[in-house]
Amino acid sequence: MFKLLGAFCIVAGCSYLGLRIASIYRKRTELFRFLQNGLTLLETEINYTSTPLPLALERVGQKMHKDCQPLFIRAATVLQEKKGVTAAEAWAAGVRALGGEVPLTKEETELLYVFGHGLGGSAKEEQVKNIALTRKQLSLVEKVAEEEQVKNQKLWQYLGFSLGAVIVLILI
Partner 1 sequence: MAKVFINKEKNNECLSGMETSPLTISSLTWFQALSPQLQELVSEGLQPFVGEIEEIRLRVKRPVLFRVGTKEMTVTAQKKFTLQLEQGYVITKEDLEKTVQILSQNSLYAWEDEFKNGYLTIPGGHRIGFVGRGVLEQGYLKTLKDLSGINYRIGRQILGCADDVLPYLVKREQIDHTLIISPPQCGKTTLLRDLVRQISTGIPELLFPGVNVGLVDERSEIAGMYQGEPQFQIGLRTDVLDACPKAQGMMMLIRSMSPGVIATDEIGKNEDVEALYHALQAGVKVITTVHGSSFEEIKARPNLQALINWRFFEKIIVLSRRKGVGTLEMILDGKNLEKLR
Residues within the interface to partner 1 (CB under 8 A): 46, 50-54, 56, 79, 83-84, 86-87, 90, 119-124, 126-127
Minimum distance from residue 129 beta carbon to partner 1 (Å): 12
| Nearer to partner 1 (CB atom), residue 72 or residue 156 | 72
Minimum distance from residue 69 beta carbon to partner 1 (Å): 20
Cα(117)–Cα(125) distance, integer angstroms: 16
| Nearer to partner 1 (CB atom), residue 2 or residue 48 | 48
| Nearer to partner 1 (CB atom), residue 107 or residue 126 | 126
| Nearer to partner 1 (CB atom), residue 78 or residue 138 | 78
Minimum distance from residue 30 beta carbon to partner 1 (Å): 29
Minimum distance from residue 154 beta carbon to partner 1 (Å): 45
